[in-house]
Amino acid sequence: MPERSLLASAPAMPRAALGWAGLALLAAVLALAVALTRPPLPGDPAVTQALEQILLWQSLVPRAVTALLAGAALGLSGALLQQVLRNPIADPSTLGIASGAQLALTIATAYAPVLIAFSREAVALTGGLAAVGIILGLSWRRGLDPITVVLSGMVISLIAAALSATVILAKGEYVLSLFIWGAGSLNQQSWDAVIALAPRLALGFAAALLLLRPLGLLGLDDRSARSLGLALHGARLLVIAVAVWLAATVTAEIGVIGFVGLAAPALARIAGARTPRQILLAAPVIGAIILSLTDSAVQLLGSGTADLAPTGAATALLGGPLLLWLLPRVRMVHRAQAGLPPSAPHRVRRPLTAAIWLAGLAVLLVIVALTLGRGPDGWEIATGAVFSDLLPFRGPRIVAAGMAGAMLGAAGTLMQRLTGNPLAGPEVLGVSAGGGVGLAVTLFLVPVLNPLYLVLGIALGSLAVLLVMLALAARSGFGPERLLLAGIAMGALCMALISTVLAQGDLRAYVLLVWMSGSTNRVGEIEAWTGVIAAAVLIAPLFLFWRWLDILPLGAGSSRSLGLGLTRSRLTLATFGALLTGFASFLIGPLSLIGLIAPHLARLTGFARGNHQLLAAVLIGGATMILADWLSRIAAFPYQVPVGLFAALIGGPYLIWLLSRGDTDG
């Protein structure tokens, strides 16, 4: 077995290596069990015997080998990215490589099938490179600061996911292949994937070994590396290109396999790997073992003809909790603490007057959205009879969008103050995705699509995730980096559960997909009133908690010394945050970035105190969503673009722009 010899070459970690050797053995046993427990083929023995041979050598064995190779490629890709970006949470999924490749393949499948027929890999690579190119371009000015890179990656991923959902909805009949692909499935009937992966893995590995010395230097900070005479950017870009290539090939061959690229290097470090050389050797082995174990498990637990769940979803299901459990044990050694986004350059002198201006802007947007639109004969300003005709359709969605934006603004402010982490938000902490899991569970348990149950399901899912995140943060005193990592892990875990449901491709999948795309189109009076009441009931009391909002970000010590009941205040605010997120994502889906962006914009405009930031974030969130809703209605008339997509398209680039110019301001 190749794994043994590689592990043996890293003598610095004998005990952990023994454990991993045991796991490798388990993986081999499970793979064998898969081969032995297949139900026999029906029919004439003379025919089935030949068929069994074909099945073994053209399906089972290539599948097992593909799992090993793909796992190794992802592990290597993650290790390279983490090393070169000096970023413990970099991997093909956090950098948007997988989403970029997925979006490119989705668009090509739907609109330019010739490209897919030409080369799946080339399409995926183009998408992956484009995503990484955008992310690196945006974070270049901040010296590829880890947090900026990962945040940009997440924004790109969210936009790509929203675009993909939109394309799938627009091209309904292609849904199936895109779902399978998105969930990452390892079924094989030939050696094609092995033939594609093996040489690329070998080349990538060779390149990684050649770049070992420069990689070691890249672990130092920029100034020291440059003084050693290394062509820093050239080496960096080369390593990144190799990593993207590996990840894009895996994505093109078998789809999105979440987590392996993130978990493998992390587990390697936990196992005791210290030097870049040790990590580069151990991560591919560990990645191969993880993916092999997972793939055997879904086959053994499946029905014999169909797997229990797509393997890519299962890796995230297994890897997510594993990573959450391991997080407190991750040592983030020899890494400079990442810089946080800029604070406000100045404070608004009269916050209330400024807030009134913001409210005025929101009202103006409402008027535009109510009257200006497109009809069969082009642009129209609705007045009189036409206005009252269209009001029952335009009114509720504008109200719902505005209220959802306001609630997300409030929820984001709460979460950022609560965790003391300026990057927290419903989307970043996986809270919105948790709502999706709640919705999926509700869809399975409740036969009738009752809106009330759906809201409850989303709210409970959101609350569960938020409580887990808070418990994690509280127990280990997570810094921003770890909380972000935990949030990304949680989000990936939840999205994996959701994609398992989506892979079923039935009515429930359709409901989930429409929800994910974040369309306000189905919103009626009931939903609009739900939004108004929820916003009023949940946002108004928050202003009573102004003291908590001001004190909590100072940290546990200061909060306690100021006489704050820490558990009670945190739990109260968390419940409010989860309910706000639940109601908002019921109305506009999970993908908008408003919950992250609105509080930022509020702070950057100069609303510094808790109360003022909250008020401004509520207004900014509401106004942005109303604008997004209007754009979604008119952009591709009569076809409608989901509003969540537009919100992400408005908010995402703005946030990245703010982050990228931050170093000049503060």
Partner 1 sequence: MRLTRRQMLALAGAIALPAPARAAGLRVATVDWAVLETLLALGVVPVAATELLQFHEVAVEPAVPASVTDLGLRGTVNFELLRLTRPDLIFSSSFYVSSEPRMRLIAPVESFAIYARGQPPFDAAVRMTRSIGQRLGLAEAAERYIAETEAEFAGLRERLKSHDGRAVIPINLGDPRHFRVFGADSMFGEVLSRLNLANAWTEATSYSAMAPVGLEALARVPEAWIVMIPPVPPDAERILARSAFWNALPNVRAGRVLRLGSINPYGALPAARRFARLLVEAFGHAGTKPLG
Which residues from 31-60 bind partner 1, rule CB under 8 A?
A: 41-43, 47-48, 50-51, 54-55, 58-59
Q: Which is nearer to partner 1, 234 or 451 (CB)?
A: 451
Site for partner 1 in 382-441 (CB under 8 A): 389-390, 392-394
171 binding partner 1? (CB under 8 A) = yes
List the beta bridge partners of residue 513.
Answer: none
Interface residue with partner 1, options 1, 18, 363, 449 (CB under 8 A): 449
Q: Exposed/middle/buried for 629, CB within 10 Å: 0-12, 13-18, 19+? A: buried
Using the rule CB under 8 A, give the single segment among 150-158, 236-244, 519-527, 538-546 that binds partner 1.
519-527
524 binding partner 1? (CB under 8 A) = yes
Interface residue with partner 1, options 28, 35, 187, 546 (CB under 8 A): 187
What is the distance between the alpha carbons of residues 215 and 210, in angstroms, rounded to a whole number?
Answer: 9
Q: Which is nearer to partner 1, 172 or 360 (CB)?
A: 172
What is the distance between the alpha carbons of residues 583 and 410, in angstroms, rounded to a whole number?
Answer: 12
Tokens 């969210």 locate to 158
Interface residue with partner 1, options 11, 223, 227, 303 (CB under 8 A): 303
Q: Binding residues for partner 1, how many (CB under 8 A)?
A: 71
CA distances from 283 to 7, 325, 333 (A): 10, 19, 17
Q: What are the b/e assignments for 540-571, b being 16+ CB within 10 Å? A: eebeebeebbbbbbeeeeebeeeebeeeebbe
At closest approach, how far in Å is the CB of 597 from partner 1? 24
> Which pair of structure tokens corresponds to residue 642?
């989901």
The runs of H, that is alpha helices, within 589-609 are 594-605
Interface residue with partner 1, options 11, 15, 36, 376 (CB under 8 A): 376
Site for partner 1 in 579-638 (CB under 8 A): 633, 637-638
Interface residue with partner 1, options 82, 83, 157, 188 (CB under 8 A): 188
Give yes or no for a contact between 472 and 592, defined as CB atoms under 8 angstroms apart.
Answer: no
At closest approach, how far in Å is the CB of 207 from partner 1? 28
> Which pair of structure tokens corresponds to residue 655?
């946030």
Site for partner 1 in 232-271 (CB under 8 A): none
E strand map for 321-403: 372-375, 378-381
CA distances from 94 to 132, 258, 608 (A): 10, 10, 30
At closest approach, how far in Å is the CB of 460 from partner 1? 20
Tokens 């490119």 locate to 104
Q: Which is nearer to partner 1, 514 or 566 (CB)?
A: 514
DSSP assignment letter at 59: I
At closest approach, how far in Å is the CB of 361 from partner 1? 25
Three-class secondary structure of residue 347 per DSSP: coil
77 binding partner 1? (CB under 8 A) = no
452 binding partner 1? (CB under 8 A) = no
Give yes or no for a contact between 427 and 590, defined as CB atoms under 8 angstroms apart.
Answer: yes
Using the rule CB under 8 A, give the single segment among 67-75, 177-185, 415-423, 473-481 that binds partner 1.
177-185
Q: Which is nearer to partner 1, 42 or 563 (CB)?
A: 42
Q: Which is nearer to partner 1, 77 or 185 (CB)?
A: 185
Q: Which is nearer to partner 1, 524 or 553 (CB)?
A: 524
The runs of H, that is alpha helices, within 255-383 are 260-270, 276-301, 311-326, 351-371
Site for partner 1 in 354-373 (CB under 8 A): 373
Please give the torsion angle defined by the CA atoms of residues 192, 194, 197 and 199, in that order, rounded to the nearest 10 degrees: -100
Interface residue with partner 1, options 506, 558, 562, 567 (CB under 8 A): 506
Helix (H) or strand (E) holding 557: helix 556-561
Site for partner 1 in 92-131 (CB under 8 A): 109, 113-114, 116-117, 120
List the beta bridge partners of residue 253.
Answer: none
505 binding partner 1? (CB under 8 A) = yes
Q: Which is nearer to partner 1, 152 or 188 (CB)?
A: 188
